[in-house]
Amino acid sequence: MMSNKIWVYIDQFKGRALPISWEAIGVGRTLAGQFGGGVTALVFGHQVEAIAQEAFHYGADEVYLADDATLSEYRPEPYTTLIAKLAGESTPEVILFPTTTRGRELAAMSAIDLKTGVLPDVTALNVQDGIIVVTRPVYAGKLLSKVQCKTRPQIISLRGRAFPKPALDPSRTGTINRIGAVLAESDIPTKVVDYAQVGGGVSLTDASVIVSGGRGVANNPSLVPPAGLGEKEAEIWKAQQGFKLVGGLAAVLGGAMGASRAAVDAGYIPYPHQVGQTGKVVSPDLYIACGISGAIQHLAGMRTSKVIVAINRDPEAPIFKLARFGVVGDIYAILPALTEAFGKKLGK
């Protein structure tokens, strides 16, 4: 039992696994090909046996399943204690985590418990003479750093969308090893009290399409704000009309809505939409930048997008240097037309 050298932590929220976890199993399989043995998945939660089956379908050979009421909501202390106990009893070579808020935190804490190093938010990975050398972006991707862990197990968290998701094979099965929780409820110093979904749209970091707006979305001289608004309110009102167009295009493309820091700082749109060095770093297949000039801190957050499209009134905007397609023009005219064109072509 647990002789596999490659372990993968499966991140779940409210009983549903995050698909980024399957990308981690895919990397685990590649590593198992080099180190020998199979892939062990760690599934923690309450009433999460279905996730164990999914893990087999995506390539796990064995699942360590901890199913307990105290694990029902993710909390770092009981989860990391469990990982430390399991890894302490065995000798994994590598433990992979998906880089979610939970995965990054668990990787960090497991490294302390297991007295080893952690390589967070990795975008590429190579094995050289039995040693894993990873690449991770630093300075929001302005530089790339090659890093390796000198101690064992090597704890690595993998950035979402950086590695392919393996094909689903519903005929695959594996062994489930059931384990108990380590901490009793009274020993856990935190309690999850409440949860509220925000926005409800596609999350930026998972999105394959992102349409973003910048300061330029407030620049429609022909819009007349409702009477009685102050200068700042009128500007924000104009920007909100602009972001409705950005959101409309995102909706027809099934994508998420992003924003530049300038737009967030100006109060046009809430912070969770911010793309860039002090916002979210994203890498979608298609990134459409509307009224974004392309400050260095924004470019750092989206430069690895596959196809970048820029729509801006200023032909000198730096964003055009990264763009595959560019339009010099007014987003208030282009966006509705583009939304309509995609609606027709995509049959929506």
Partner 1 sequence: MKIVVCVKQVPDSAAKVVVENGRVTWGDAPLVVNPWDEYAIEAALTQKEALGGDVTVISMGGESAREVLKQALAMGCGEAILISDPALAQADSQATARVLAAAVRKISDVDLIFFGRQAIDDDAGVIPAQTACLLGWPVLSLVSVIRSLDPGARTVRVERSIEEGRQVVEARLPAVISVVKDIGDPRYPSFMGIRKASKAVIPAWTLTDLGLGALDPVISWPELMNPPQREVKTEMITGDSPQEIAEKLADKILGEKVL
Is residue 267 within the footprint of partner 1 (CB under 8 A)? no
Furthest-apart CA pair in the chain: how many Å? Answer: 72
Which of 125, 283, 133, 316 has the alpha carbon at shortest distance from 209? 283
Q: Please pick, from the candidates 36, 229, 296, 314, the single residue that binds partner 1 as defined by CB under 8 A.
A: 296
Q: Please pick, from the candidates 199, 229, 314, 348, the single residue that binds partner 1 as defined by CB under 8 A.
A: 199
Nearer to partner 1, 243 or 320 (CB): 320
Q: Please pick, from the candidates 262, 308, 312, 317, the single residue that binds partner 1 as defined by CB under 8 A.
A: 308
DSSP character at residue 226? P
How many CB atoms are located within 10 Å of the residue 326 CB? Answer: 18
Nearer to partner 1, 179 or 322 (CB): 322
Is residue 198 within the footprint of partner 1 (CB under 8 A)? yes
Which of 135, 138, 184, 185 has the alpha carbon at shortest distance from 162? 135
* Residues between 209 and 248 that touch partner 1 (CB under 8 A): 209
The answer to whether 109 touches 80, Cβ cutoff 8 Å, is yes
- Least distance (Å) from partner 1 to the CB of residue 278? 5
The answer to whether 20 touches 58, Cβ cutoff 8 Å, is no
Q: Please pick, from the candidates 30, 90, 116, 241, the single residue that binds partner 1 as defined by CB under 8 A.
A: 116
- Least distance (Å) from partner 1 to the CB of residue 25? 19
Nearer to partner 1, 136 or 238 (CB): 136
Q: Please pick, from the candidates 133, 179, 236, 251, the single residue that binds partner 1 as defined by CB under 8 A.
A: 133
How many CB atoms are located within 10 Å of the residue 163 CB? Answer: 22
Q: Please pick, from the candidates 27, 51, 65, 111, the single residue that binds partner 1 as defined by CB under 8 A.
A: 111
Site string for partner 1, 136-155 (x = CB under 8 A): xxxxxxxxxxxxxxxx----
The answer to whether 127 touches 142, Cβ cutoff 8 Å, is no
Distance CA 137, CA 146 (A): 9
How many CB atoms are located within 10 Å of the residue 206 CB? Answer: 15
- Least distance (Å) from partner 1 to the CB of residue 136? 8
* Residues between 57 and 86 that touch partner 1 (CB under 8 A): 75-77, 80
How many Cα atoms sit within 13 Å of 150 on the Cβ side? 0
Is residue 328 within the footprint of partner 1 (CB under 8 A)? yes
